């Protein structure tokens, strides 16, 4: 599994605003979400994952704002919390992977705490490869909805080029995209968001939330 620390350096919610509105399955294209008026007020957890620059932070924030009682848990916060001795995960580095799993455990625990207090927790982080199955087990709350954002690599590269900071370092978009598509268990709802705005992506997540449940 290859990465440069899998830090979430997502841009603000202004991303993708110039893309045209596109109606998608379950989404009429006008901002309405089928069934949202009858939204069950039960606590749950959403995990929004994908490679860097896939739009995770923007979509997670938009989703949390759409729900009646929700918290946005940013997984990368717990990586940044390590002030000294931080090791980013790279293949073959046991300490880097140990710290990655520590970050996952803390974020999953925070999500469970929010859910226990009656909130829907929207967690976003880079969770790709076999560790996605591990993460599903870390979260105790059910329902748990897993959403994998999988825009085309050229779309990710375009978004990455337009950001103020780079999250990739020595790695490439194609490296992580290959890991996503060939090593990650096919659980939850996978969305190709190449032509979707954040709002349309949230519409699709809510309309197809049953498919995301694991």
Q: Tokens 């020595």 identify what position?
A: 170
For 119-157, what is each residue's pLDDT tens digit?
Answer: 999 999 999 999 999 999 999 999 999 999 999 999 999
Task: Give Cα 112 distance to the centre of its chain.
Answer: 17
pLDDT tier for residue 5 given thresholds of 50, 70 and 90 = low
For 174-195, what is each residue's pLDDT tens digit?
Answer: 989 999 999 999 999 999 999 9
Q: Are 160 and 167 in contact (CB under 8 A)?
A: yes
What is the structure's pLDDT at 41? 54
What is the structure's pLDDT at 3? 38
What is the structure's pLDDT at 95? 96
The whole-chain average pLDDT of the chain stands at 84
For 73-83, what is each residue's pLDDT tens digit?
Answer: 999 999 999 99
Give the separation between CA 180 and CA 127, rounded to whole angstroms. 9
What is the structure's pLDDT at 1? 41
The neighbouring-strand residues paired with 49 are: 148
Q: Which has more pLDDT, 93 or 99?
A: 99
Q: Tokens 């009682």 identify what position?
A: 69
Give the separation between CA 2 and CA 10, rounded to whole angstroms. 19
Q: Are 44 and 72 in contact (CB under 8 A)?
A: no
Of 113, 161, 174, the closest CA to residue 139 belongs to: 113
Domains by residue range for the chain, with CATH? 38-212 (3.40.50.300)
DSSP H or E segment with residue 191: strand 189-191
For 118-129, what is each residue's pLDDT tens digit?
Answer: 999 999 999 999
pLDDT mean over 109-122: 98
What is the structure's pLDDT at 167? 57
Pair of tokens at residue 124: 């976003």
For 63-72, what is each residue's pLDDT tens digit?
Answer: 999 999 999 9
């Amino acid at each position: 599994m290859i990465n440069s620390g899998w830090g979430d350096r997502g841009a603000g919610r202004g991303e993708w605003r110039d893309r045209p509105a596109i109606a998608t399955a379950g989404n009429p294209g006008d901002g309405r979400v089928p069934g949202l008026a009858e939204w069950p007020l039960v606590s749950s957890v959403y995990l929004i994952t994908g490679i860097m620059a896939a739009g995770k932070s923007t979509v997670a924030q938009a989703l949390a704002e759409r729900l009646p009682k929700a918290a946005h848990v940013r997984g990368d916060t717990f990586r940044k919390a390590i002030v000294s001795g931080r090791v980013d995960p790279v293949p073959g580095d046991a300490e880097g992977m140990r710290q990655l799993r520590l970050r996952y455990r803390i974020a999953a625990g925070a999500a469970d705490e929010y859910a226990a207090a009656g909130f829907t927790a929207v967690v976003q982080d880079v969770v790709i490869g076999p560790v996605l199955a591990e993460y599903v087990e870390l979260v105790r709350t059910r329902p748990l909805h897993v959403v994998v954002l999988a825009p085309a690599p050229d779309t990710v590269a375009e978004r990455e080029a337009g950001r103020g900071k780079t999250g990739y370092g020595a790695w490439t978009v194609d490296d992580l995209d290959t890991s996503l598509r060939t090593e990650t268990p096919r659980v939850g709802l996978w969305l190709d968001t190449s032509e979707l705005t954040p709002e349309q992506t949230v519409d699709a997540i809510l309309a197809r939330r049953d498919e995301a449940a694991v």
